[in-house]
Amino acid sequence: MATLKIRDLHVSVETEQGTKEILRGVDLTVRSGETHAIMGPNGSGKSTLAYSIAGHPKYTVTNGTVTLDDEDLLAMSVDERARAGLFLAMQYPVEVPGVTVANFLRTAKTAIDGEAPKLRTWVKDVKTAMTQLRMDPAFAERGVNEGFSGGEKKRHEILQMELLAPRVAILDETDSGLDVDALKVVSEGVNRVKASGEVGVLLITHYTRILRYITPDFVHVFVDGRIAEQGGRELADRLENEGYDRFVPAPA
């Protein structure tokens, strides 16, 4: 069982106008087997939360703590956080020309586990996961995300998650840019990982449509860098009907 604890997290970035505080005191706990949906209007700090936890150098933590099973994630390098069991599916996955998907996946698995997976078993696991995600096996020999469509990039992110078996998975707007068919396939992949009961999922989304396929245990509404409201699946339904207007002050 894994537990991610975020306490009084404050995060800033440097802009041309100076230092800007984005997160203003976030408290959140994610445990194995739980799915937490982070929702909110654009610019509310959802993605900043994801990248701050993962260790993106653009973001500066000015106060608060982030721990995984009481280990200080903020004191770890990005690769150390991954080895500790943290996984981030990016909103805009990057291309890595010259590195094939097959080599990338096996190298990542080896780095996280500390030893290379047995080749025969590994090849079978990769093929099975790709089939379930409706990915052409030929993608294994292509450069990472090179020439991939938006949907193919997102499927590749979920492929990584399935094969690397993290303890906590952060999915940053995985539904962004997906058509209905791709959304279903990606959601099925997330649900397969969830079914193990060993992974805590932090699902960041602007819309409720992915929650038709991935049922959250908790919903948190982000506004202006803070959690403005929390609830269960019914809160997402309410947001579907009402939007975020009631959380945003009317202009003077």
Strand boundaries in 92-232, DSSP class E: 96-100, 143-144, 168-172, 200-204, 218-223, 226-231
pLDDT at 248 exceeding the cut of 80: no
Do residues 235 and 218 lie in contact, with contact meaning Cβ atoms separated by under 8 Å? no
How confident is residue 33, by pLDDT bands cut at 50, 70 and 90? very high
Provide, rounded to the nearest whole percent, the portion of the chain with pLDDT above 70.
Answer: 98
Instruction: Please provide the size of the chain in residues.
Output: 252
* Amino acid in position 68: L
Give the chain's mean pLDDT: 92
pLDDT at 26 exceeding the cut of 60: yes
For the chain, domains (ranges, CATH) are 3-241 (3.40.50.300)
Q: Cα 236–199–136 angle (5° rounding)?
A: 90
pLDDT at 91 exceeding the cut of 90: no
How confident is residue 252, by pLDDT bands cut at 50, 70 and 90? low
pLDDT score recorded for residue 242: 84
Q: Could you tell me the strand order of the sheet in which 218-223 lies? A: 86-89, 168-172, 200-204, 35-39, 218-223, 226-231
Measured between alpha carbons, how far is 180 from 145 in angstroms, rounded to an integer?
Answer: 21
Q: Are strands 86-89 and 96-100 parallel, antiparallel or unpaired?
A: unpaired
Q: Which of 83, 87, 92, 117 is nearest to 102 (CA)?
A: 117
Compute the average pLDDT of residues 101-109: 94
Q: What is the DSSP letter of 214?
A: S
| CA 61, chain centre distance (Å) | 19
Provide, rounded to the nearest whole percent, the portion of the chain with pLDDT above 90.
Answer: 77
Give Cα separations from 133 to 106, 152, 189, 207 (angstroms).
18, 10, 7, 22
* Amino acid in position 11: V
Compute the average pLDDT of residues 163-178: 92
| Greatest pairwise CA separation for the chain in angstroms | 65
pLDDT at 251 exceeding the cut of 70: no
How confident is residue 250, by pLDDT bands cut at 50, 70 and 90? low
How confident is residue 42, by pLDDT bands cut at 50, 70 and 90? confident
Measured between alpha carbons, how far is 54 from 74 in angstroms, rounded to an integer?
Answer: 9
What are the φ and ψ backbone dihedral angles of 13, each rounded to 5 degrees? -130, 155
Q: What are the pLDDT digits (tens) for 183-242? A: 999 999 999 999 988 999 999 998 888 999 999 999 999 999 999 999 998 998 888 888
